[in-house]
Structure 1
């Protein structure tokens, strides 16, 4: 195991994290993502990253569904930074890559997100724009049409339960420790 560089964070379950696969726990990811609002909170009602992740996962063939569920899992440790802001945060992309590497290794995912997951994510984004966002001053530059899913935002505890249920379905051999 490599030496820890820098400080660490405490997770909701009281664990220590700074990105090692052995320090990644699905309970911590589910809890954090369920409590983070998409779009930096600028949607019309609270809508969590956890619920978004389940919708993306459900939209994918089974072989990509776990990747879809965990595609934003780094945000459990780094928060959901809106896309237009990320390029202006020095070091963010490197931190995001390090955390995603640990998550991919921990859950046996390919180290690069499959294109089909990226497309599903952007199609869900189009649904979110139409259902959860106020009318804007200009149109969004969406590359893909909406998926066509109805989004009924859930409170954090329900989103967390939904996320963990989807994880149990996709990774039945993984142990979930409260």
Structure 2
């Protein structure tokens, strides 16, 4: 095997994963589903545990709805839902950073690493094209919905860029979120996944 850049982490499925030298063959949906179900949104500052895996399931559902509303073809709807489910997949291997940190100019290396992991994820699961606008819109819709439902109240400095969804979020447990994520993957990608 050729030399890999950087060091590796051990994943849930006991694989070696090189975050700075990711390859499609190292990506595993079990690792992604498990790790995202263990990570809390808002860097853990919400009033109850709410996983990134549940967020991804909800973004996937919302992206499909948005694509249907604009009259997207069935393959466009499927593509939006697939991207929605996996839009934060890199966080399974790198963890997420708070937006103010992640987008600071000093974090360019982190953003490059995140892009490289997403390239490996795209290749592994056959994601077509770039991140659809409907996924970005769904992600923002969920951000405002989550802020409304997961904090006792929002700081007055929040700048609302969307309308929270009518549905109120009742967070899943970690095992429920992992199962929901893997079940949705099975449906969207036509692949049986052990849960």
Q: Is the TM-score greater than 0.5?
A: yes
| Post-superposition CA distance 1:107-133 (Å, at most 9, x none) | 111352111100001001110011102
Q: Superposition pairs for residues 34-53 of structure 1, below 5 Å?
A: 34-53=37-56
Paired position in structure 2 for 1:79: 95
Q: Secondary structure at the match of 1:43?
A: coil
Q: More displaced, 93-102 or 106-115?
A: 106-115
Matched, 1:107 2:125: yes
Post-superposition offset of 1:53: 0.5
Matched, 1:125 2:143: yes
Q: Retained in 1: the 8 A contact 2:35–2:92?
A: yes
Task: Tell me how far apart the structure 1 counterparts of residues 2 and 145 of structure 2 sit (CA, whole Å).
Answer: 42
Post-superposition offset of 1:170: 0.5
Paired position in structure 2 for 1:59: 62
Higher helix share: 2
Paired position in structure 2 for 1:168: 186
Residue correspondences, number: 177
Name stretches of at least 5 consecutive residues in structure 1 with no aligned partner. none
| Post-superposition CA distance 1:45-70 (Å, at most 9, x none) | 00000001001111122321010000
Task: Tell me how far apart the structure 2 counterparts of residues 110 and 133 of structure 1 sit (CA, whole Å).
Answer: 35
Q: Secondary structure at the match of 2:103?
A: helix
Q: Retained in 1: the 8 A contact 2:148–2:154?
A: no
Q: Secondary structure at the match of 1:91?
A: helix
| Post-superposition CA distance 1:118-158 (Å, at most 9, x none) | 00010011100111023243232232212323211111111
Task: Tell me how far apart the structure 1 counterparts of residues 169 and 155 of structure 2 sit (CA, whole Å).
Answer: 23
What TM-score results when the alignment is normalised by the length of structure 1?
0.92
